[in-house]
Amino acid sequence: MQDLLKDTVPKVPAVVIHPEDDLMMLFTSGTTSRPKAVQLTHANAVFAGIFGSQGYKVVPEDRHFMVLPLFHVNAQFISVMPTLTAGATLIMAEQFSASRYMEQARYHKATTASLVAATAKMILAQPPHELDGKNSFRLIMYAIAIPEEQWLEF
């Protein structure tokens, strides 16, 4: 079979993607009403990247540490798209670990990250470590209210 295919040229069909073409269906959790599927276009994703990279002042030298699941809008539109749009580096953890978060962030020299209240509180619940304050973070975005005293402690 290999001999039959060695001189063939693959034919890749031309695909034109328009900004208003559907990119994905994102499912909401239903925190404000019943859960639903939301249609998002390529333009939605590009806008999130441009808006996020400018709003968070993401630069190519940034190293974004992502621990949130990709099925969630936060990971896709707060972490991935702004990082890619700015030409920065995306560090994707295989899974979230509160006990290893700061160690991983230091190891990868992360400069930015995005968390939700639950992940921030889990990290805060870990025993303090002498190296916790030694990191390269300049910005950690977060969703859902965290009491100011907890955020300052973080």
Residue 1 has pLDDT above 60, yes or no: no
**Residue spans per domain, the chain:** 36-153
Write the CATH number of the domain with boundaries 36-153: 3.40.50.980
Q: Are 150 and 140 in contact (CB under 8 A)?
A: no
Share of the chain above pLDDT 90, in %: 61
Q: What is the mean pLDDT of the chain?
A: 90
Q: How many CB atoms lie within 10 A of CB 107?
A: 11
Burial 21-47 (b: 16+ CB within 10 A, else e): eebbebeeeeeeeeeeeeebbeebbee
Give 78-106 pLDDT, tens digit per residue.
999 999 999 999 999 999 999 999 999 99
Partnered with residue 114 across adjacent β-strands are 141
3-state per-residue secondary structure call for 71-130: CCHHHHHHHHHHHHHHCCEEEECCCCCCCCHHHHHHHHCCCEEEEEHHHHHHHHCCCCCC
pTM: 0.82
pLDDT category of residue 142 using cuts at 50, 70 and 90: confident
CA distance 65 to 76: 13
| pLDDT value of position 67 | 96
Per-residue pLDDT tens over the stretch 29-74: 777 888 888 899 999 999 999 999 999 999 999 999 999 999 888 8
